[in-house]
């Protein structure tokens, strides 16, 4: 089998777009929002540890090692509930801890945008997700597609089982320009959601509101429900992506209207 050149080009462009998104956004907002690179690194670290280490370890235990839990989660409704809450709890607990540390670091300089730390952290958290969940995975499929077009794929997959090799071929056969567009849309929407959740958490932490953590967990879980429903085959992908596109647009508008960059001070005449 082979992957059409137009599909390979579209997938490469979509992957490049997602990879450049956090970098370009950081550079664009660094001045207006007085971004601190330490906040961004904190966001990267939290996602890397809480989402890729802790959450994956919990999921592996609940879905594979614990037979009783795996049997319960075989029910699509329980799987959706668990999947949404697991992601919400792990990521938001990490975000809350990081925001508390950032807040304790000291008052920001006069004139600095109040939400600057939230945007700095959010870009790091969202950027890490974009790379770990999106870019690195798609780079693997791009490599597989190139190998398939050269007729060298099976040789490079010789250490896998026949079922795994068949699965790789099936996925490659499903790739299309539309798939590339959906990938870019999903990752962009996730990026917007992560920044929105970061602003929400930051404002709650700064206000000293004790209910901000459960609220953030609930908000994150609600965002993950459509994706979990798709994984459980309870909702078609087109419906899920349409919901995410609309929701991301709403969140982006709210952020634009409520988060203001530093105002330039006019020179005295």
* Cα 240 to Cα 20: distance, rounded to the nearest angstrom: 25
- With a CB cutoff of 8 Å and minimum separation 6, the contacts of 251 are 192, 193, 196
Q: Over its length of 269 residues, how does the chain's per-residue pLDDT go in tens digits? A: 688 999 999 999 999 999 999 999 999 999 999 999 999 999 999 999 999 999 999 999 999 999 999 999 999 999 999 999 999 999 999 999 999 999 987 655 544 567 899 999 999 999 999 999 999 999 999 999 999 888 888 888 888 888 888 888 888 988 999 999 999 999 999 999 999 999 999 999 999 999 999 999 999 999 999 999 998 889 999 999 999 999 999 999 999 999 877 554 333 33
The torsion angles phi and psi of 260, rounded to 5 degrees, stand at -110, 135
* Cα 59 to Cα 46: distance, rounded to the nearest angstrom: 18
| C-alpha closest to that of 88 among 222, 189, 226, 220 | 220
| C-alpha closest to that of 91 among 119, 120, 128, 116 | 128
Over residues 29-81, the pLDDT tens digits come to: 999 999 999 999 999 999 999 999 999 999 999 999 999 999 999 999 999 99
Question: Is the distance from CB of 54 to CB of 90 less than 8 angstroms?
Answer: yes
DSSP states of 60-100 as a string? HIIIII-HHHHHHHTSHHHHHHHHHHHHHHHHHHHHHHHHH
- Rounded to two decimals, the pTM is 0.90
* Cα 52 to Cα 221: distance, rounded to the nearest angstrom: 17
């Amino acid at each position: 089998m082979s992957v059409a050149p137009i599909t390979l080009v579209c997938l490469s462009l979509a992957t490049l777009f997602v990879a450049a998104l956090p970098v370009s956004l950081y550079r664009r907002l660094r001045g207006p929002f007085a971004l601190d690179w330490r906040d961004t690194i904190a966001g990267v670290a939290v996602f890397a540890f809480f989402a890729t280490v802790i959450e994956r370890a919990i999921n592996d235990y609940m879905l594979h090692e614990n037979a009783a839990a795996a049997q319960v989660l075989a029910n699509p409704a329980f799987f959706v509930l668990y999947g949404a809450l697991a992601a919400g709890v792990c990521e938001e607990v990490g975000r809350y801890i990081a925001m508390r540390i950032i807040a304790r670091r000291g008052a920001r300089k006069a004139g600095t945008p109040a939400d600057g730390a939230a945007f700095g952290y959010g870009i790091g958290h969202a950027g890490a997700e974009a790379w770990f969940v999106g870019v690195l995975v798609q780079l693997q499929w791009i490599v597989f597609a190139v190998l398939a077009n050269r007729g060298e794929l099976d040789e490079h997959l010789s250490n896998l089982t026949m079922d795994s090799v068949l699965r790789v071929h099936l996925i490659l056969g499903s790739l299309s320009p539309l798939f590339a567009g959906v990938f870019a849309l999903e990752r962009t929407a996730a990026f917007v959601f992560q920044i929105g959740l970061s602003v929400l958490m930051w404002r709650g932490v700064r206000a000293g509101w004790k209910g901000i953590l459960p609220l953030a967990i609930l908000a994150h879980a609600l965002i993950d429900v459509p994706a979990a429903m798709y994984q459980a085959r309870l909702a078609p992908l087109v419906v899920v992506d349409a919901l995410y596109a609309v929701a991301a647009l709403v969140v982006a508008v709210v952020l634009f209207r409520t988060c203001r960059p530093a105002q330039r001070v006019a020179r005295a005449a």
